[in-house]
Chain A
Amino acid sequence: MSSMSEKEQSTTHKIGIYLWIWGLLFVLSFFSYMVDWYQFQGLLRWSLILLFMFLKAGLIMAFFMHLFWERYALVNVLLWPMTAIGCFVFLMVAEFQYTVFTRLFYFVVGGQ
């Protein structure tokens, strides 16, 4: 039985923390909607969008999905593969820039 009570301690958390995270997610969503509402443009727009996005994703993963309380082995197994996605994004950014360049060069300039 002692192991059972330990188990329950490790798996339940106070309701307050969930309500706080819930509230924060609402506020962050509202902020990201406001970015569109006020029509921020350029660097300000996408830095704000990315900031709110990563904050929301982080809160959901850390607290709703309990990753904050999970063992390091699981956290590492889940988060390291994300670097591969990051690499892929960089590769594809280089790729679309090249595509745009060739399109401009051949369609617009005519390859001269």
Chain B
Amino acid sequence: MSDPKIEGYEFKPGFKGMAQDTGSDQTMFKGVHWGKAMMWIFLLSDTFIFSCFLISYMKGRGSTLIDWPNTSEVFSLHVGSTPVPLLLIAIMTFVLITSSGTMALAVKYGYEKNRKMCGWLILATAIGGLTFVGMQAFEWSKLIHEGVRPWENPFGAKQFGSFFFMITGFHGTHVSIGVIFLFIYAYKTFKGHYDEEKRGWFTTMKGDYVEIEILGLYWHFVDLVWVFIFAFFYLW
């Protein structure tokens, strides 16, 4: 990942490199693109936000004396006349993992300067994300139709609704923002902005395929959060 623009700087791997990094002059992570370092810092702070949501959910669910709604029944879909537990959620999980895979490949092809392949894969990722948001909208409207509100629901403990809308809503917002950026980046890739080192809209930074990796980090993080939501909220 090193961008060797700092002269005379030699990166050492392992703990030696870590000591050199943390004790280095002026800047840490020398040679790393600033956008990438900042994306990691942002994702770290986002991790804390999502952790706070999930921990408050754990606390709320743990401290209620009324039974928590049975998620595998609440989130079941009817295929014909038989209810299939968590069907929609399972499909959403697979869609998001698929889009994460295409994003990882887009990053790889980006670094290989394979413009077309990179662009198509970003577009595929965006469409996957859009499908996910669409299914989430369907899930929300279904539950709202069944009478789930942030303050009450017909299935059990009243806290269920508020945690559900808060956590999945915040995650869905992240996905939506990601989808918007994926479409923009797909456009920029197809246009060849990263090959021509064209500057961005609000920056003097030269375009580079490292931007695809930064976007990829965000997208994988969205997938990562879903892994935790899927485990704690839907399966628990």
Contacts and interface: CB of A to CB of B under 8 A. Distances in A.
Given A18-B104, A25-B97, A73-B29, 9 more contacts: A7-B3, A39-B72, A64-B216, A65-B220, A72-B17, A74-B29, A74-B32, A89-B58, A100-B63
Interface residues of A, number: 60
Contacts, number: 157
Contacts of B112: 8, 12
A88 B58 CA distance: 11
Contacts of A85: 47-48, 51, 55
B8 interface: no
B105 A15 contact: yes
B86 interface: yes
B40 interface: yes
A10 B1 contact: yes
A37 B101 CA distance: 25
Nearest to B24: A73
B14 interface: yes
A73 B235 contact: no
B104 A64 contact: yes
A43 interface: no
B56 to A, nearest CB: 8
B55 A35 contact: no
A73 B48 contact: no
Contacts of B104: 18, 21-22, 63-64
Contacts of B189: none
B18 A71 contact: yes
Contacts of A65: 216-217, 220-221, 224
B218 to A, nearest CB: 10
A97 B62 contact: yes
B111 A93 contact: no
A6 B111 CA distance: 12
B36 to A, nearest CB: 9
B231 interface: yes
